[in-house]
Amino acid sequence: MSGTHTPNLTLYFAPRTRSFAALWLLEELGEPYQLESFDFATGRHKQADYLALNPMGKVPLVVDGETPVPEIGAMAIYIADRYVAAGLAPAATDAARPAYLRWMFFASAIMEPAFAQKLFGWEASAATVAWGSYEQMMQVLADGLTEGPWLLGETFSAADVVVGNNLVFGQMIGIIPTDGPIGEYLVRLKAREAFQRAEAIEMREGERFPVAAE
């Protein structure tokens, strides 16, 4: 989105990637930001100056002023706390803060590897691996949505963006149901204005950088 002053926030973004999480988060935030969009084929994310900001050479990456904040969970926690007026995070002293942090870590430490296990068919003992199993992850998430409409109940938070982005991706690859508490939660997420603005930007950038023909 555009603002009246020079944005402090820059998002390094590539279409059709996990960058969408950060794009959606920034649209929820409502602060001006600069979009540095590029095609993976350019190798921008492997150049030395980029690796100095995110040594993993991955997107998304948010830079706040001079401060790089890679990793979706870290950037979501940082941005929501730093730009507190948007109301995307319970304060450290709020009773909802532990649940908020739990869902943030659930997204990266449990959902991400559980999705990969489902997708690639890895054999692993649920008692041994940190993420349990895909089925356990889905059940715990569905249980967490019984009160709803959001993960923290009535209050939407940055944790909904981070968990929700995983679900959007999971639905695209066909491992997330379209019905039940998780499917219904996704419908609510996708109905948000900020989600729809982010989706429009994602589509525009996808058209700028179409998938290269084989």
Among 1, 8, 10, 18, binds ligand GSH (CB under 6 A): 18
CB 3 within 8 A of CB 32: yes
**Which residue, 57 or 177, is less far from ligand GSH as judged by CB?**
57
Strand 9-13 and strand 33-37: the pairing is parallel
CA-only gyration radius of the chain, Å: 17
Among 57, 68, 149, 183, binds ligand GSH (CB under 6 A): 57
CB under 6 A: which stretch of 52-60, 84-92, 142-150, 194-202 binds ligand GSH? 52-60
CB 31 within 8 A of CB 3: yes
**Which residue, 17 or 133, is less far from ligand GSH as judged by CB?**
17
Q: Helix, strand, or coil here: 68? A: strand
- Output phi, psi for 149, to 5 deg: -70, -15
**Which residue, 84 or 172, is less far from ligand GSH as judged by CB?**
172
CB under 6 A: which stretch of 3-11, 28-36, 58-66, 176-184 binds ligand GSH? 58-66
Strands in 65-178 per DSSP E: 67-70
Residue whose beta carbon is closest to ligand GSH:
58
Residue whose token pair is 């590539």: 14
Question: Residue 201's CB: how many other CB atoms inside 10 A?
Answer: 20
Residues 72-91 that bind ligand GSH (CB under 6 A): 72
Question: Residue 39's CB: how many other CB atoms inside 10 A?
Answer: 16
Per-residue interface string for the shown chain with ligand GSH, residues 108-147, x marking contact by CB under 6 A: x---------------------------------------
Among 8, 10, 17, 133, binds ligand GSH (CB under 6 A): 17
Euclidean distance between CA atoms 11 and 22, whole angstroms = 8
Does 59 contact ligand GSH by CB under 6 A?
yes
Tokens of 5: 């002053």
Euclidean distance between CA atoms 136 and 171, whole angstroms = 17
**Which residue, 51 or 87, is less far from ligand GSH as judged by CB?**
51
Does 71 contact ligand GSH by CB under 6 A?
yes
Question: Nearest approach, Cβ of 29 to ligand GSH (angstroms)?
Answer: 17
Binding positions for ligand GSH, rule: CB under 6 A = 17-18, 57-60, 71-72, 108
